[in-house]
Amino acid sequence: MYFTLVLLVFGFIVAYSFQFTRNELKDSSVSVDNEWDKKVALNERIIHEKEKNAELADRLEKIREQVNKKEKDLSARQLVSQQTVRQLDTLRMRAGLVPVIGPGVTVTLADSKNARTMTDVANGIVHDKNIRDVVNELFAAGAEGVSVNDQRLVTNSTVRCVGPTIIVNDTKLAPPFVVRAIGNKDTLMTALEMPGGVIDVLKQRTVDVQVVKSDKIELPGFIGETKDASSAGNPG
């Protein structure tokens, strides 16, 4: 009886141990499966994030390319705009519409002090033609701008006499007549002082003439209404 009881207890212990071990193995298998699933899920998430990052990087590169293209287009437009502004400024300067500063020459014409005592008074005074001759010579020598007594000359400016008065741009002027021109000062001076040139002729008529080169000459902009050059006179 005692032996039977021992066998029963031993059998119960063996059976319980077997069942406990099987349950442990089962739980361990489930735990391993869960860890594997988590690892697989994590790897899939990492792969997904990498794909998403690669897509974002590709989009960023395309946006950078678009920005670079826009910047180049804008730079080109700005360059064209700057060139256009410079061209307009040059045209305005040559048209006499804006003030300008630069090197050039100043020609001062004044009536002879002895004009009243001359047999022919006209030989000792400055005429509109004398001013026009000086102006034409300056423009022919490459002057970029010319003024007479601060009256800027434009394409339709006129230099004319009305009685004893010289009128430029419909403004009455009195001697001395100061003609300022901007351009290559040496070239302008050479053109004016050539033998038999305009200055030489004026000096022979005893008109008081002075020519001075300068590194800085200021010309005002034209003030007034510009007209069609075909219907107006010319400074020359």
Distance separating the N- and C-terminal Cα atoms of the chain? 153
Domain 101-221 has CATH 3.30.70.1880: yes
Q: Taking the alpha carbons of 176, 236, 155, 100 in that order, is the dihedral positive or negative?
A: negative
Beta bridge partners of 161: 166
The reported pLDDT for the residue numbered 13 is 52
**Structural domain spans, the chain:** 1-95, 101-221
The reported pLDDT for the residue numbered 177 is 95
The candidate with the shortest Cα–Cα distance to 173, out of 123, 227, 126, 212, is 126
pLDDT-based confidence at residue 229 (cuts at 50, 70, 90): very low
- Residue 56 vs residue 195, higher pLDDT: 195
The reported pLDDT for the residue numbered 9 is 45
- pLDDT above 60: residue 116: yes
- Residue 100 vs residue 77, higher pLDDT: 100
Q: Write out the two tokens for 88.
A: 């307009």
Mean pLDDT across the stretch 129-148?
A: 95
The reported pLDDT for the residue numbered 115 is 62
The reported pLDDT for the residue numbered 113 is 82
- pLDDT above 90: residue 232: no
- pLDDT above 50: residue 18: no
pTM here?
0.61
pLDDT-based confidence at residue 133 (cuts at 50, 70, 90): very high
Q: What is the mean pLDDT of the chain?
A: 77
Helix, strand, coil shares of the chain, percent, nearest 5, are 55, 20, 25
Query: Which uninterrupted H or E stretch holds 104?
Result: strand 100-110
